[in-house]
Structure 1
Amino acid sequence: MKKFLKILGFSVAGVVLLLIAAISVVVWILTPAKLTPLVEDAARKSLNADVNIGRVELTFWSTFPRLVVDVDSLEIISHSLSTAADTLPAWRDSLVSVQAFHGALILPKLIAGTIAVDRVEIIRPEINLVTAADGSTNSDIVKPSDSDSGSSSGIPSFSLGRFAISGDMPVRYLSVPDSTYIAATLSAASVHGEKNPVYTLNVKGDTRAEIGKISISDIRLGLGGNISWDPERPTAIKLDRMRAALADVTVDVTTSADFSHSTVINSLNINLLPVAIHSLVAIVPEGIIPESTEIGGEALVSADVSLTEPYTVGTDLIPSLTAALTVEEGTARFEEMYLKKLSLKAKAVIDGRDPDMSQLDITELFAVGEGVGFRLSAKVSRPLSDPRVRGTFKGGIVARWLSKRLLNALPCKISGNLKAECDFAFRRSYLTPTEFHRVKFNGQASLADFHLDMRDASASLFIDKASLNLGSDSRISVGAHTVDSLLTASLRIDSVAFFTPGLDVQGRDWNVGLGMLNVASTADTTVINPIGGRITAGMLSLDNEADSARIRLRDATVSGSLTRFRGSATKPRLSAKITSRRAIYSQNMLRAFISDIDAAVTVYPAPPRLTRRTRQRMDSIAALYPSLPPDSIYARAMAMSRRRHTADIDSLDTANSFNLDGSTVAMLKKWGTKGHVKASRIGVFTPLFPIRNVISDLDLKFSSDSLTISNTRYTVGRSRLTVDGSIANISRSLTSRRGSPIVLDFDIKGDTLDINRIATAMFAGVAYRKTAEREGLSSVAEDSEAEMQRVLDKAAENDSAAPIVIPMNIDAALKLNISNVLYSDLTLNHCTGNARLSGGALNLRNVRARTDMGSIDLNALYSAPDETDLRFAFGMLLKDFHIDRFLKLMPSIDSVMPLLNGVSGIINADIAATSELEPDMNINIPTLSAAVKISGDSLVLLDSETFRKVSKWLLFKDKKRNMIDHMEVEMIVDSQRVELFPFIFDMDRYRLGVMGTNDLALNFNYHVAVLKSPIPFKFGINISGNPDKMKIRLGGAKLNEKKLASTTMISDTTRINLVRQIESAFIRGVRNSSRPGLHLNASAPATMQTLGSDASDTISRADSLLFIREGLIESPLPPDSLKHE
């Protein structure tokens, strides 16, 4: 064995010596002068390029055991782009140039089969790489080989001791197709392999580049770390803590990869060391970020990326990895926005196998800037199929601390503080109308001391404090009942003021709340989704100069809800409720207020109103078409009904119509209502009825077709009334084609009813309306009562009275019981009666009252269906009435019975009259017809002074008793004439009978018969003419007790007949009956018909002498005196 080893040792030594000898011979023979041309020729033959070498030298003995190669001045000129366009740079052909090259190969390791390079040093190399437009490159210089070398024998064992580049190494790269230009200069580069197969790499330099429109300025770069590469596994490489530096940005990379079959990255970790934002932005190529955009800051950014599974390049779509991004708290700047604090902690998990399983977790994003700050945390999952987002947010804004540039860019000046916070959870699929109910969102926002002023002074807004709360899964408990899954929103404002030219709004303690079910059916627009809301206002003030409107509210609440009617998913039920401690409204001359209102209304689908005929039609259609659904049967029946009535519509009396448009009528038929209104006090003042109207203790209940008022007090001027009653047939009246009227039934009681003021207000209101329509009246100052009265007086001057029209579409029955009624200067006590309105007429029935001057019993009819058809008829019975008050009560009597002037005392009167009225509400005298009966006892006919003279002249026995014991007078007014029926009365020692006639121009013809007197015979006095020119003649008496008994007593009968006619006309309808008129039972007595017919009616000469002797008439003057006169 020893011998074998000895022989083997000598053999190896021999081979080594032989190899050394061979190398020595080659080195000795291949001197630089011989070796240099050989290398150049060999290179030119295998390359499509010119290779210029200054000197190539081999050294062996002086560097033993290393074989050293030194090359001076190496240059490779490429010919691959020699035919390219001249647009390429001049350096396109200069591929590589090296000032010097030094390399050493360790021979002992080479003999052992390992290529061991001890040292490689390149001095000042320069590389230029160019890609032409057609894709050819200047580096494509290797000529194709003619021989096939067959299969490769593999990579021999290799080791590198040290690799270094001395001096600057310029590298240029130009790619014409993608407009890329990169220029880098490596100032230092080295590789140390003392610990091979682990090699340490260090590179330093700077670079600049242009990629398209993106430009990179000169940036320092560096590269260093350990590279593990084993020739036995040449396709595997590992980088350990490989640090790459670009300017101030440093990245550590640790990775391992295998290139045997395909590129597989087994592990990878990239760690960005903390770097300031401004340093990170500095390496971003120019063009990616606009030049005008300024980004910077001192906050430190770091990141860490790690593979979680091996990644095969070209096979796997995306790698599986985790990435974490951290921004340590510091400053940041984006253009004019400056953040004093910015921090971020975020982590992403990427699943390469199932990218939809990737996740993003923003643990915290915190920022505080100039007037802005927020904190956000969120998690995102399922990013591809249906992104899920869950997180919280909290932030705020202080307006006065915002950047001046931002504030100056706004069209308004703002100040105030805004804070908000919320938590949320949703998916992208939830952001649709059908799935929105699944979004979870709960949050609140608050605003304090907010001011907004438009720079052009067009508007300003101030909010003291405001808060907004939103919730998508709220829960409300009322007693033992709990409702969850509610979408709610509430807004609270402590105080607010808004102003714009012409409009001023102020408020305090505003609250708005809204809630609805947040379930799947919410998105279904074909069904009713319950919803409710509530608005409260401690105070609201609104002033609008455009229409002079003014609104004031105190402690007001409005609430409402939309629910399903009787459980039907398609039929809505709307409820609303309003309460307010006080509300005031004014506009122009309208004033209204209400205190302690409590109102509620419910609107619901109204059931169809089916007449008997319609039901019969439906039965017939159902029998004819048994397969039709009920809705279709009803539709067909209604269509038949409409066709049947179409021809009749034009002939209907439309005076009862409210002139509602078709859509309004359809709405009233479709919807039903019910509710109530209560209020402690309501006041209204309007120029259309210019008198103070106050309603107290209002208790009103209503439905679609009726309205009920209970124990409600009404004060109008000095009138104080209590009202109970109802209004019915509302719906049918508003929607009927045939003009069905609204039916009113009220019981009115009261302490005082001032007819004077009410009538004055009604006339003034109508006059105002006409004047306003004709001339237009401007609005008055808000609280100027004097100015308001001036406008009303102006209207009254233009139209002292205007017709009061009775609506044709109202059928009312009023029962009256008033303690005191003020009419003219009379006070009527215990006034009772009934009033009815129908067909454009007002009927007073059995109106009775007592006064300190007597009692009244009245029946009347006022017909005023329009302004051109005004009529009046009445029957009145007065008992124990003062005649002077009677003349004031009936002022027209004075004009037709002048003999009543100056009469005083207590009378009974029975009056029946009809007349047309003029547009100013005065009696149309030519149309007046009347029957009057007046009787009285203890009447005073003359004033004291006149009686003293008359009593002395007529030789009264009792010259102090100025009184008539009894008198009874009847008369009729017809055809513009007054017929005074004969009557007799006693006065002292005289018995007188009177009869006569006069027209309405007071052209009279009366006869006074002296039936008893101191004169021993009867005589008569004939009075004719007019008050300005009166003619008195003496004649025979045309009256006596026997003839008086034959006169007809018609007043009672006429009044009774007229009352019956009034009732009949009212029932049948005023327009359908003739005008109520008086039908006298008998004409004037024959005695009256002879008045003035006998011109010779005079006293005899003997009677004249007796009158002269008694001093009753003066003696005639002598003829001479007459001539003298």
Structure 2
Amino acid sequence: MSNILKKILISLGLACTLILLAITFITNFLFKPEKITPIALKAINQQLDGQVFCKSVELTFFSSFPRFGARLHDGYILSRDRRDTLVVFSDFRGAVNMTKLLLKKEIDIERITLRRPRLHLAVDQHGNANYDILKKETAEATDTSDVQSAIKKIHIKSLRIEDASFHYEDKGSRLDCRIPHLALKIGFVYDEDHLLLKLHSDSKQLTITKGGFVFIRQLNSLLDTDMKLDKKSRKLSFTNGTLKLNDIDFLLDGVFERPNGRKAVNVALQAKMKVPSLANLWKMVPKRYLKTTDVDVGGRVFLVLQTNGVYGEGKLPVSRAQLKIHGGSLRYKKFPGQITALEADVESLLDFNERQRSAVRINKMLIRGTGIHLSGSISVQNLLDNPEIEPDVEANIDLTKIGSTFPIVEGLQLGGRAFIDLAGKITYTAQSGFDYRDLSLQGNAKLADLQINMAKEELLFHTPYTALSLKRDEKNGLSGQLDIDRLNLQYGKKHKLTVQALHAQLSGSKKVDKRLPLKSKINLAALHYQSTDSMNVRIEKASIAAAVGPGKLPRAPHFVTSFDAQNLALHYGQMTLIVDKGSYQFNVEKNEQKQWWPIGSFSFSKLKAAIPNVGMPLSINRSLITVKGHDIHLNNAFVALGDFKMKLDGEVRNIFPVDKRDTLLYADLNLHAHYLDIDELMGVLQAESANAGVIERMAAPALTAAPPVTPIADSTRFTLPTNIRFTFNSFIEQLKMGSLMLNNLKGQARVDNGQLNLHDFSLKSGEASLQTKLRYKPLANGQARMQYVIDVRNMKMNQLKDFAPTLDTLFPVIKSLEGNADFSIKGSANLNNDMEIDIGSVRSVAALRATHLAVQDNEAFRELAKTFKFKERDSTYIDSLNVEMLIKDRQLEILPALVEIDRYRLAVGGIQHIDLSYDYHISVLKSPVPFKMGVDVKGKIPDYNISMTKARYKYYFTDKERLAKKADSTIIRKRNAVLKLINFE
């Protein structure tokens, strides 16, 4: 090699090295991503009405050599108004041919690649697209921009979208298209007049809806086609494209044309089945019920799908489909059964512009083979709004033979024969379902020894005989009859239903008069239903009459039902309900909130119930109960709960809650009773429920005994249900509460939040009148807290122990007094599990006002009389007695009280203990002796001491302000607090 050549090669090598080093330096140091990103985004966004954001922009040279490229990472594109996110992507790449750009002034983009994007394209109600974000260039901009005027052409050779999700919605036409998985490749070839495109699209689970109507669901498609765009006419056309829908190949032809000045596209598409073989169509049959493999399928198919019309400006093209099957046959290779004749002629039309035109017609349907003979036609008019279905079907099917000669789904067993001959017309609406007023059916259906056993769904159904006949004539309208013999249904392990016999008759009005109802009468015998959630229902005999007619709301039916049952038994969890000779009448219709609303009543000869946490059976005899929606009304219901007998009037509400947040059961009842024992009633409301077997024997001896009832553990007798809020306006002739016996009670009793409240109870007993308030509140320690307010006027002193239990124990001196008094006590106490008051827990204040009391002779009084030298007489009178008391810590504190007896004016006070020991002080304020003195009485009867001392209470009952200030302020405050709580006005 000559020295000159060597020098030239060395020079070229050095030059290339320097160039590569320069490019490396520029791309890696001068054009770093953090430097180039804001500049690139600004340049891109200047060309758009939308806005592009991304994490980083990277310039590429080596990976796209000899082209100059860019790569955008983790970005998204916003629409013009910044409200919609058009695209979210993880990787966007593009490369430009720099040679053509510099030498020919042409932008030649070799490839644009978009990876893992989420695409959301939308058109609003006015036809404006959110993806129209390219700026419209003005004349001034074209003239003043040297760079733009220098660019002659812009070409894109390839566009690739990988692993995309796609959502398109047109709010004007209410069209919605979703593709969870999409891959798209488009190649572009340019010439002067045309743009040639090579398209490959692969979509999975395509779903298209229109106004809530599912047009296409979960469709897999594959499209390969060459397209041609005429630049002058703006027409896009293609022929002999390959379209694969699920597993069927189609040949696709089409034209898209957008007229100038319009926001609409003229569409003309046609897909024809590529290989017209029934074997190819058979592959589309769902594999859930029929096997599609290892089968010989014969016959030819003609299947054409067409779409023609305008898309845009609120319009959609019209779609048509036509399917014809000729000479069809089917035989499974490993099974003896075969279909020898299979014919069909089906056509459909979907027009969203004139919805009433949409229809599906099965003009011919014929299936004949082993155990099967079915023929007929079905027409569905007005498909998109209120479908009118007109069937005309005849069938003779041997289910036993089908189950043994065809490979039906694994786990499904069939048996019996079905004979069906049915024709008529049925109207369906989205608002009210099948419209009974337009029901026009006639024909017969008979099922002999029908058996269905689906092991996977654990469904078992069997009936030896079922027959249905329907007919309609111009005079009487629709009529029919249904007979079922020994129905047995079991679904999973949850539900089991048996009916010995069922007979139903159907009658309706003439079709021309839609005001008249459709009526039915059903008789059934020996119904038994069981479920694993502890429900068990038995009915010995029942007769049901039902009628359906037009309701108040448009197209909403109104039901009228009546039900007569003998020996109905219901067991649900801890509850048992027995009804004998029950009769029910209900009207059922929808209200304005589209909720079913029952109105009616039921009556019965006898009702017995065992209720959780109630220890006695509930019994109601010969009562009428009315129902309105979710509430019931009792009218003179005679109820017995064990030995408690009462009459109830009023309402019980929210039996079937509408609002799941409010599950409380409300009641507002009037209660009339001769006798009520509160202690025993609280004992009834305990954990151990009444024995269900006893109730069975009391109410319906012929019925099978109920399942055993398991008591709820760790409950106390004070437990009250927390989900009830009952108010009883009570009228009770006699009420027993502990040792207190009250007569002629009137007042309000409330059960709320697990508590029992007696509110404003009053009674008259002789000359005495009483007002009381009382509350029972269960505690966690097996006890209950009782709060009470008792006001008695004009009572006899010997009644005090009845109105204030334990007070005679704490204040035994009251046993020595006779006469009338006013008494008031307020406080609280605990009840033990035997319903006895725990004296140590009593916290109360009390006051007594009395005049002209007689003091009876007893040992304590005789000793005091000797000390004070009372005159000898059979009884001594107290002119007035005003006593305030505090009860707490197992003792009674009597605050200084003024007593005027005989020739004396005394102030009495002190402490009385629970063990009957006491420490009293008596200050003598007025006596025959001309000075004040005091007497202390201490001890316990009969062991007590009386001693003379100073008068400690001489300043409490004086009119002189100077002396009153010397009284103990603590005692004064206690008296004022008691008087503030107790008002004798």
TM bucket by the smaller chain? 0.3 to 0.5
TM-score for both structures, normalised by structure 1: 0.38
TM-score for both structures, normalised by structure 2: 0.42
Q: Which has the higher helix share?
A: 1
Q: Which has the higher strand share?
A: 2
